[in-house]
Structure 1
Amino acid sequence: MDNLQLWDFRFIDFVDVFLVAILLYYIYKLVKGTVAINIFIGILIVYLVWRLTDYLNMVMLYSIFDGFMKVGIIALIVVFQPEIRKFLLMVGSTKIGGKRNIFKNFKFLKNDDPTTTDVDAIINACNRMASTNTGALIVIERNNNLDFLTNTGDEMNILVSQPIIESIFFKNSPLHDGAIIIDNNVVKATRVILPVNNEKNIPERFGLRHRAAVGITEKTDALAIAVSEENGQISYLKNGEFVMFKDTDELTAKIKEDLT
């Protein structure tokens, strides 16, 4: 009973539990809403069966699962290569001092203040541009710092508004090429060159603008909105995937939810 006393719980044990909680939170953020969650569950089931066969002394089954588990780390690296890359980038570029830092990501540590990004202005601008088939690519920064991309374009410090976004992507504007990066309701850069995804198969009707949106949302936790110059279609991308929505009201609600 002495080993179960509360006083035996040392400060370093609290730190240990807290760090594990942060690690699990980041893993959850990486696999949530992606096919990786199903792979992760499958690996967990295999692990539990491996432990069960060992406990029940089922020699043949245990030897099979044991062989699988011995090379499991290599399989994990191969299967979860994009997620591992994104995890390392997330840890390395998390804005510790920012509004959405790692501590405020936990419900009991963050306040209930709504996002400061004017999502309504962004979507209204996208609607206007879509009606005139004006191409646009908007990247909204979240936890991962995108400063490594701003030097590929023109650094700015402009408060987000509907007229500002429309004027940036106006066809005769010198700033309309490339993407803009928005952070904390400020356009921090224009004419940004984003990494293009050439591996994922996306419909042929989508061009480089959408491949760039896929690429940046795969490699970071940023959100991307693309307006097609060909047909005026608005696309929303997160985690390298196209997010389906019925109308722009639903899209606005989704983005606001993803920014909290």
Structure 2
Amino acid sequence: MDKLKFWDFGIIDFIDVFLVAILLYYVYKLVKGTVAVNIFIGIIVIYVIWKVTDLLNMFMLHNIFDGFMKVGIIALIVVFQPEIRKFLLMVGSTNLSGQRRFFSKMKFLKTENNTETDISAIVAACEKMSSTNTGALIVLERNNNLDFLTGTGDEMSITVTQPIIESIFFKNSPLHDGAIIIANNTVKATRVILPVNNESTIPQRFGLRHRAAIGITEKTDALALVVSEETGQISYIVNGEFVMYKDTDELLKLISKALT
């Protein structure tokens, strides 16, 4: 009878497995490229062993893993604190506009053209500002809605162009302090105050702009571009880490791939 029940796989069971698979996929996507991915894989391995030992009635080994699983939730909260925060922020920031963006990406439901961010204009502006050592901090919104940050600065609705970005960060401009947030080829806010990463492991040569870029990309899935006021170097930051690139063409490809 137990074997018959095991193979009694209905539509609800299929939906259950499908939803769990989606959840695991997005959790993996969230931690992919970070140190946490190794911990995530290790937890899955331990969970599988825990279930197998229970199925095979290996009482001693099962009890060891069972004890670990019971207290493991506390360890998970501590270890995955940044990822949990990012996941909850992603869920909490879901809105109708985000849903429209999701459905518009599905070709069979597409009713309007998506506005693609002019990455070339952004990178060209960064290059121009780099040549004059003009400091800049540009945040590119992805899935996580950043409206919770726009209130810290000045809300805007300006189409992205190279001159616009350069004029915002011009040293005598009243808007040059803080970050700008770009979404769907629109500058949605300027003079935005971002959460700053205060980790002592970050080299002292990096200032507040870099720490702010690290902070926002750790807490959300946004991308960040920083132009150093001291050296003119352009930094590309994702998931709280600096992404190395050879030249402008590679930088354009990296940003385009990340936004896609």
Give the TM-score band, short-chain normalised: 0.7 to 0.9
Does the aligned pair in 2 maintain the 1:225–1:235 contact within 8 Å? yes
Aligned twin of 1:186: 186
Aligned twin of 2:70: 70
The number of aligned residues is 256
Q: CA deviation at 1:182?
A: 0.4
Does the aligned pair in 2 maintain the 1:138–1:224 contact within 8 Å? yes
**SS state of the match for residue 129, structure 1?**
helix
Aligned twin of 2:212: 212
Query: For the structure 1 residues 77 and 210, does the alpha-carbon distance in structure 2 shift closer, same or farther, using more than 3 Å as the test?
Result: same
Query: For the structure 1 residues 99 and 125, does the alpha-carbon distance in structure 2 shift closer, same or farther, using more than 3 Å as the test?
Result: farther
**SS state of the match for residue 62, structure 1?**
helix
Q: CA deviation at 1:101?
A: 4.4
Q: CA deviation at 1:21?
A: 4.5
Distance 2:199 2:215 in 1: 10
Matched, 1:36 2:36: yes
Q: Normalised by the size of structure 1, how large is the TM-score?
A: 0.87
Distance 2:74 2:202 in 1: 29
Unaligned stretches of 5+ in structure 1?
none
Query: For the structure 1 residues 189 and 79, does the alpha-carbon distance in structure 2 shift closer, same or farther, using more than 3 Å as the test?
Result: same
Aligned twin of 2:117: 117
Distance 1:17 1:154 in 2: 45
Matched, 1:197 2:197: yes
Does the aligned pair in 2 maintain the 1:197–1:214 contact within 8 Å? yes
Unaligned stretches of 5+ in structure 2?
none
Distance 1:56 1:254 in 2: 48
**SS state of the match for residue 44, structure 1?**
helix
Distance 2:204 2:165 in 1: 27
Distance 1:194 1:207 in 2: 13
Q: Quick one: percent identity of the two aligned structures?
A: 75
Q: CA deviation at 1:68?
A: 1.1
Query: For the structure 1 residues 210 and 187, does the alpha-carbon distance in structure 2 shift closer, same or farther, using more than 3 Å as the test?
Result: same
Distance 1:3 1:198 in 2: 52
Distance 2:29 2:80 in 1: 14
CA RMSD of aligned residues (A): 2.8
Matched, 1:132 2:132: yes
Does the aligned pair in 2 maintain the 1:90–1:144 contact within 8 Å? yes
**SS state of the match for residue 139, structure 1?**
strand
Aligned twin of 1:163: 163
Q: Deviations over 1:131-161 (max 9, x none)?
A: 1111000001111111111111111111101
Q: Deviations over 1:5-47 (max 9, x none)?
A: 99x52xx556545543542343122111111110011111222
- Counterpart amino acid of residue 220 in structure 1: T
